[in-house]
Amino acid sequence: MKSAESHGRGVGSGQPPQMPLAVRAAELQIWHLAHEVLVAFNLEGVELFRRQGVMDHVELTAEDKRILHSNQVIVTHNHPLERSFSTQDLNMACSYDIDVLRAISPGHVYSLTPPAGGWDPLWCVKRFYSDEVDKLRLKLTPPFMTASSAET
């Protein structure tokens, strides 16, 4: 179970935490792949699980979600499409109180930690729904979708 001190060891301090060597080694294995791979570690660098995905996401099992929810974790994954964090990444960080979330690609390493006091659930909900509303607006703006095609 996560402790109340989950964010007291440099995580959430605004300073990037020191990454265990096992995390960096895993990133060297996956950064160049054409499909996403997600690897979860405890804060000491012990690998908790590894999941293969497709080009733009990884499906987690119920057991994976239980592990994320019950432990202090570092989650790293590659982004073949060379982008920073997705809405789904931010939602995962908020939902499972991820201590360090990393996304790597051939040209970049992105690292995100919660602010002091942890993830703000209200911010997370606003962020997720704001992005979804923006996607819907794009679909409803010609030439992407017409009113008749929206009904189907």
> Taking the domains of the chain in order of start, what are their residue ranges?
1-118, 120-152
- For residue 2, what pLDDT is reported? 47
- For residue 8, what pLDDT is reported? 36
**pLDDT tens-digit map of 49-90:** 999 999 989 999 999 999 999 889 999 999 998 888 888 898
At residue 131 the predicted structure's pLDDT band, cuts being 50, 70 and 90, is low
- For residue 143, what pLDDT is reported? 53
Q: Could you give the angle at the alpha carbon of 98 between the alpha carbons of 90 and 125, nearest 5°?
A: 35
